[in-house]
Amino acid sequence: MGAIWAVIQTEKGEPRGVSYETIAGGQKLAAALGKPLEALVLGAGVAGAAEKVAARKVERVRVIEDPKLDPYTPDPYTAALRLAVEAEKPDYVLFPHTYQVRDWVPRLAAALDAGFISDVVDLRADGGEPVFVRQPYQGKLNADCAFTGSGPRLVSFQAGAFLADDAAKGDASAEIVAQPVDLSGVEVRTQVLETFQEVENKVDLSRADVIVAVGRGIGKQENLGVVEELAAALGGQLAASRPVCDNEWLPMDRQIGSSGQTVAPRLYLAIGISGAIQHLVGMKNSGTIVAINKDANAPIFSVADYGIVGDLFEIVPALTAKVKEARGA
């Protein structure tokens, strides 16, 4: 019986948060299919990352360590995993659906002649053949997908599809084994010249755990302070719906929605946001959604878990106080 592999994406020698989500998804699939879950860490200088991953409930952690794997380029990554898969023959190989994964995993699928179900938000395995749920048509529809035929099966999970916190810890640290692959013959055709940040302090909302988003209801730029305080109290990032950014009350890189970023934090607070579909597509996969709006009929309440109807200028300061109180306690 083949194993399930959760491939860990690292950054500066650390596992990225989304990789734990992959483990959480892998644990769910492993439980459903009764197959062992293993983690696979690849890169250069990733021993530390492997140790961290070993604390989670996985059968073992395989490590592919090779200088050609740093910096990331698609050719050696594809070759490395192809060799490992061909050697070990796992049944499923799972990934986080990151920009990096999009860059090379389709190559791997083609190299292995494998099926690849990408950007999965959920999975079900009631009775044998697992079904992977995707959201095509920009999230407007759901699609149940399954693999046809044999061969290795590749799956990538959308950020937030599973919660990193749900990736159960193991009783003891899992065994860490080196996965030998020979990359000496692999030509690295891509040459990295320079990696840089375009905007200083540009926020990565997709990595935020907590997002406090503000909409047209804030009225004007001067009012943003109350929301900023709440974001600070929660240790979250400030974000906005389109009208706020269009008015230049907040920079564009804070915009959530179809013309901004898509996020799925653990906690999303929508404040003074009515919930136009353009906004909803960018945040509806968030873990817990709280809506504060004066219009009880605002569509945002249809995706929210909790709602408070009323004047945000009264509620937000009260909430900030309660959060501080709870955190202090």
Instruction: Write the binding mask 168 to 207 for another protein: x where contact by CB under 8 A, - elsewhere.
Output: ---------------------xxxxxxxxxxx--xxx-xx
Considering the rule CB under 8 A, would residue 252 count as an interface residue with another protein?
no
Question: Of the candidates 55, 106, 176, 232, which one interacts with another protein according to CB under 8 A?
Answer: 106
Minimum distance from CB of 213 to another protein (Å)? 15
Distance CA 104, CA 111 (A): 11
Choose the binding region for another protein from 21-29, 40-48, 60-68, 101-109 (rule: CB under 8 A): 101-109
The rounded distance, in Å, linking the Cα atoms of 144 and 126 is 13
Pairing assessment for the beta strands 37-43 and 60-65 based on DSSP bridges: parallel
Interaction between residue 306 and another protein (CB under 8 A): yes
- Measuring CA to CA, how many Å separate 117 from each of 81, 155, 321? 17, 5, 45
**Smallest distance from the beta carbon of 86 to another protein, in angstroms?**
15
Longest dimension (CA), the chain: 66
Per CB under 8 A, contacts with another protein among 31-60 are none
CB-nearer residue toward another protein: 172 or 193:
193
> Does 64 contact another protein by CB under 8 A?
no
Query: Does residue number 13 form part of the binding site for another protein (CB under 8 A)?
Result: no
Backbone angles phi, psi at 238, to 5 degrees: -90, 135
Each as own residue / partner, the long-range contacts of residues 17-21 (CB below 8 Å, 24 or more positions apart, any chain) are: 17/164, 17/207, 18/96, 18/98, 18/157, 18/159, 18/164, 19/53, 19/96, 20/56, 20/164, 20/165, 20/167, 21/96, 21/157, 21/159, 21/160, 21/161, 21/162, 21/163, 21/164, 21/167
Q: Is 149 in the site for another protein (CB under 8 A)?
A: yes
Binding span for another protein by CB under 8 A among 38-46, 52-60, 83-91, 113-121: 113-121
Q: Which of 40, 50, 58, 117 binds another protein (CB under 8 A)?
A: 117
Task: Compute and round to an integer the Cα radius of gyration of the chain.
Answer: 22
Q: Shortest Cβ distance from residue 27 to another protein (Å)? A: 18
**For another protein, which residue of 47, 142, 225, 247 counts as binding (CB under 8 A)?**
142
How far apart are CB 54 and another protein at their closest, in Å? Answer: 25
